[in-house]
Amino acid sequence: MNVFAGGTDRQLAWEELQRRVESCSACGLCSTRKKAVFGQGNRSSPLVFVGEGPGADEDEQGIAFVGRAGKLLTRILQAVAIEREDVFITNVVKCRPPENRTPQTEEMMACNHFLEAQLALLRPKIVVCLGNTPAKWLIKTSEGISSLRGRWFPWRGIELFPMFHPSYLLRNESKKIGSPKDLTWHDINALRKRFDELTKGGPSS
């Protein structure tokens, strides 16, 4: 099926894509997952969030970002008046890596066509890369999230914006100036500003 099709075909392509993810056995993660996590949210949103992979709660429920990190992400978004239901959220790999380890390169390569097809169908203006793995994977860099976060990267007509993963913020409670939480506060406000510029025709930076 042509995932770049329009109208009803796009809807059919989306449903077919979801079916393929849910029954996929293209990498070893299929043998330990409970549920593949396709992603969920507003498919018309200009804003897509991409995390690393499902955790235990997500694996159990088949829904992205429902655990503690997901709840923190919800609060971060709400701080700039964005509701979770208004964005689409997915991951680089759709099945949980055992013990929440970082996905291996072969696993990300096996799964990558699903993410690419999702982005082709969603056509967002901004993709927020949550943490090291999606940032490095999409930008194709060896730089880490500490240097990538808060910067804009053009990617196939989309703007990539890396931010710290909320699970990293849960492990770093400090709110001092320059702390991950403080930097995330700056980043989410920069994201909100750019989002408004792109969607409401404001001045571009």
CB nearer to ligand SF4: give 67 or 103: 103
Beta sheet of 158-163, edge-to-edge order: 40-41, 88-91, 47-51, 126-130, 158-163, 153-155
In the bound state with ligand SF4, the residue whose beta carbon lies nearer, of 36 and 148, is: 36
C-alpha torsion sign, points 29, 132, 163, 143? negative
**Smallest distance, Å, CB 128 to ligand SF4?**
20
As measured in angstroms, the least distance from the Cβ of 18 to ligand SF4 is 11
Cα separation, 59 vs 12, in Å, equals: 25
Q: Which of 10, 13, 14, 36 binds ligand SF4 (CB under 6 A)?
A: 36
Neighbours of 79 (CB within 10 A): 13
Nearer Cβ to ligand SF4, position 30 or 120? 30
Toward ligand SF4, which CB reaches closer, 30 or 170? 30
SS3 155: strand
Instruction: Write out the residues near ligand SF4 by the rule CB under 6 A.
Output: 21, 24-27, 29-30, 36, 93-95, 107, 110-111
